Amino acid sequence: MKFENLDIQTQDRIAILTINRPSKLNALNKATIKELHKAFEMLDSEKDVRVIILTGSGEKAFVAGADIAEFATFSMKKGARLAEKGQEILFDFVENLSTPVIAAINGFALGGGLELAMACHFRISSDNAKMGLPEVSLGVIPGYGGTQRLPQLVGKGRAMEMILSASMIDAKKALEYGLVNEVVAQEQLLEMCKKMAAKISNNSPVAMRYAIKSVNAGFKYNINGYKTEMEAFGICFGTADFKEGTTAFLEKRKADFPGK
């Protein structure tokens, strides 16, 4: 499948998905959001893809935000629909994807860009990155899950400060807050992400799918995370991956999991 705003490279069970709109600092417009949905859906269905790394093209930005020109004249109804549709087809979709997604934050991650990074399963940042949710300076609030995911990651007080001040934090502060897992020099960012992805890719895709589901359940007000974990734990016992993993352990060899 060919994409206008995305590039995909796949090697050694790792897919690198790059948002390629450098002239717009990789800003998210409706077309790019739709393409990202299709790309994630496609990669999630490919048996040989075990981990996805998401990044932006160039050295300036991961995603510098949403394309404001697209919604500047929207009505209340259209605005609500924009948020609802975007969360459905991309941000919630990525958060609940069965394939682990690492955000490689290679520069500015602002507004919808930071919201997209937060929807990924975890984040690794270059040392020149800047992150923030500046929406209130435009008379609006984060609409792609930012008011929910940021407090989950950094705590309510810090999230309130970042959102209400509309200010950016640097990579060092993001690491201190727990917003990112690691900070490396920009030239080392992709290699670091690939190294982490390679480690992840050796594990059971089925077990990782249920681990993602169980962790996410703990952050849903209407779902019992412990019950979800117990049920998923039991389901794993009936899978080919469990049989292969336990057999390999007992035979003192490396497991070769069947895949998705």
Q: How far is CA 95 from the centre of its chain?
A: 6
Per-residue pLDDT of the chain (260 residues), as tens digits, is: 789 999 999 999 999 999 999 989 999 999 999 999 999 999 999 999 999 999 999 989 999 998 888 888 899 999 999 999 999 999 999 999 999 999 999 999 999 999 999 999 999 999 999 999 999 999 999 999 999 999 999 999 999 999 999 999 999 999 999 999 999 999 999 999 999 999 999 999 999 999 999 999 999 888 999 999 999 999 999 999 999 999 999 999 999 998 77
Cα distances from 91 to residues 38, 58, 107, 236, in angstroms, run 13, 23, 20, 27
Nearest 5°: phi and psi at 252? 55, 50
d(C-alpha 151, C-alpha 155), whole Å: 4
Q: pTM (2 decimals)?
A: 0.95
The count of other CB atoms within 10 Å of the CB of residue 73 is 7
Active site residue 41: no
Active site residue 135: yes
Pull the structure tokens for residue 68: 């404001």
Select which of 4, 35, 41, 135 is catalytic: 135
CATH fold, domain 6-201, is: 2-enoyl-CoA Hydratase; Chain A, domain 1 (3.90.226)
Pair 150, 99: CB distance under 8 Å: no
The predicted structure's pLDDT at residue 154: 98
The count of other CB atoms within 10 Å of the CB of residue 230 is 12
Candidates 10, 106, 108, 110; CA nearest to 52 is: 10
Pair 157, 178: CB distance under 8 Å: no
Select which of 88, 95, 115, 187 is catalytic: 115
Cβ partners under 8 Å of residue 258, min gap 6 = 240, 241, 244
